[in-house]
Amino acid sequence: MSAVEQQPADASLSSNSSSSFEVIEADAANKYEAVVPHWFYCKVTDSRERWIPFSTQDSEKLEAAQKMRKDDEELVVPISGGRYDVHLKQRQCYAVYWEEEVSEVRRCTWFYKGEKDNKYVPYSESFSEDLEEAYMIAVTLDEWKKKLESPNREIIILHNPKLMVHYHPVTVSDDWGSSSAEQGRPRTVKRGVENISVDIHSGEPEQIDHLVFVVHGIGPACDIRFRSIIQCVNDFRAVSLSMLQAHFKKAQEQQQIGRVEFLPVNWHSRLHSTGVDVDLERITLPSINRLRHFINDTILDVFFYNSATYCQTIVDTVASEMNRLYLLFLQRNPDYKGRVSIAGHSLGSLILFDLLTNQKASSEDEDGKEKGSQTGASHGADASGVKEILEKLKLSEYSTVFEKERMDRQALDTNHWAQIIAGNNGEGRTESESSAGPGSAGSRSSGRNCPYPDVSLGQVSANYPQLIYKPAIFFAFGSPIGMFLTVRGVKRIDPSYSLPTCKGFFNIFHPFDPVAYRIEPMIVPDMEFEPMLLPHHKGRKRMHLELKEGLTRMSMDLKNNLLGSLRVAWQSFTRAPLPAVEAASTECETESQNCSDGQTEVKPNEPPAAAKEEASPINVGMLNGGHRIDYVLQEKPIESFNEYLFALQGHLCYWESEDTVLLVLKEIYQTQGIMLDQPLQ
């Protein structure tokens, strides 16, 4: 009986407990928490708006400035690593280092799903405040089904915390021409950036260790998606940040490194703002209009660079732009103590190469180079002045040019073109002597800064400006430098030559790049050897390359064994007479041993680049400080099926190539004594 009586008591207790939990849950549900804002900026492409979130780091920086100095009319907040400035009161974002459309900035809390691409679009700040206030009242009083009208007379209904919709009015016309508004398809409404699907990056390290200027090639578009140099360098920078996290993790954890800053250098727009496009338009045929416009805008840049008039415009633009960017960077980063490197893609690498070869080295640089002090002596040993040197070189007709440019004996001595043409004094030069130097007797169109106009690599006559810094390394991507030097009459680069103000030079190319050429065979023309194979950023070679190499090695072994067996069999048939048996057998054993080592008289196929480099280091001169210059990327498996199909992609692949970026970072940080976490094989 007692047990039966106790049941209602337990049931009552259970009921009370259940109701108390419901009260707690209701209280928790009715507890309002303010929404966390996130800052966005608007990009307009082809008249379409796209709202992109700032990184978490930048959004927090903007929010802190908003709370502290909300009414400051002149408050400017640097974001994106200092490459942009946000004028907070005006809600506008300006590019710092290049020309770009001003972007609208918005402090976002409420979003609705767009019509076309299903991406969420933020409401205006004022209407977001109205939505937040209505949401707060609904949560606090637990009263939903709230209806609001936007400034565009669109209806938003808050059904519950999980379901909020936006009705876009659709105008419908009847047969009589009158129109009426009806509710269209509902769109989803979300509160807070954490409830929408969007990628938000954490941000960039504030510390900058190295600065790299990147010069583009022909045309305004730099990749297969027809993007500008600014967008491509943005990709390159983003890849560098991911490579730093993956391969320099220890150095980052120990706060030894920050990041490398990459800034684009644009010369195409300046060149085509000279009025040359109008002149070309007048003479361009009307047929195949798009193709002709494409040629005028891209391919003709190569011809412009080989024109004395427009070459001067191009080199002036590139040098002045890099100097301007450098000074502006120092102004915005007054504590910067790092160095500068430069990189060029396609024609941009040739422009940089010509600029660097015409830089004047300081006296300290001369003392630091092995043969720098002997430059003048190699061409005018006992000459006492500029006129005597020119007379000895049979170039006395150029003396007025040198006097006009105020080129003295010291300027001649500090110019390193004398080194690249060592031994070529212009007197009685034979064909064999001509092949030992880079110039030809007829190449007299040179830079005015060069003291030997007939042997300055056949450069277009231009006054090459001086850079206000000394680059640490020069990186060339998909570069035609080797081809242009050859066309200019250069047959060989002297192994002792190095760029006057830049000690590092890397020539990086894709194996299918139709524009890229090698440099090393011009320094060591008598040797045949492969370029250095760039390791994959995840280590090892790509699987299809390892398979291909394994099959090649297997066929070589079979070939060597077959040739060795045939040689031994032939020797057994042609064995010497009895008195010489002992000597013949000794000779056979020696030759057999050579055969087993794969050293037959018949030369086998060349071994892979990596194996050959390990077997015997190759001396490729001082252009890269005694280190290898040519580096080839590994093609992707799909690219190996048809190299012609992927030729264009091969020339435009460098901006998103992890292997290229990793080599750049590796060489830059190596100058600071910082190595990869693990060496790549």
Instruction: Choose among 466, 452, 441: nearest CA to 376.
Output: 452
Instruction: Give the separation between CA 132 and CA 663, rounded to whole angstroms.
Output: 50
Catalytic residue among 59, 128, 346, 349: 346
Instruction: Give the separation between CA 584 and CA 387, rounded to whole angstroms.
Output: 69
- Residue 545: Cβ within 10 Å count: 17
Angle between the N-to-C axes of helices 276-283 and 289-297, in degrees from 0 to 180, rounded to the nearest 10: 150
Q: Amino acid identity of 165?
A: V
Query: Which uninterrupted H or E stretch holds 520?
Result: helix 520-523
Residue 492 Cα distances to 306, 376, 482, 485, angstroms: 21, 20, 10, 9
What single string gives the DSSP state of each residue in 208-275? EEEEEEEE--SSS--STT---HHHHHHHHHHHHHHHHHHHSHHHHHTT---EEEEEEE--HHHHTTSS
Instruction: Give the separation between CA 634 and CA 548, rounded to whole angstroms.
Output: 12
Tell me 453's DSSP state.
Answer: G
Per-residue buried b or exposed e for 5-23, using 16+ beta carbons within 10 Å of the residue's own CB: eeeeeeeeeeeeeeeeeee
SS3 label, residue 92? strand
Q: Amino acid identity of 352?
A: L
Query: Cα angle at 241 between 239 and 244, to 5 degrees?
Result: 110
Report CA torsion sign: 212, 213, 217, 221.
positive
Instruction: Give the separation between CA 637 and CA 646, rounded to whole angstroms.
Output: 11
Instruction: Give the separation between CA 452 and CA 443, rounded to whole angstroms.
Output: 10
Query: Which uninterrupted H or E stretch holds 187?
Result: strand 179-191
Indicate if 346 belongs to the active site: yes
Active site residues: 346
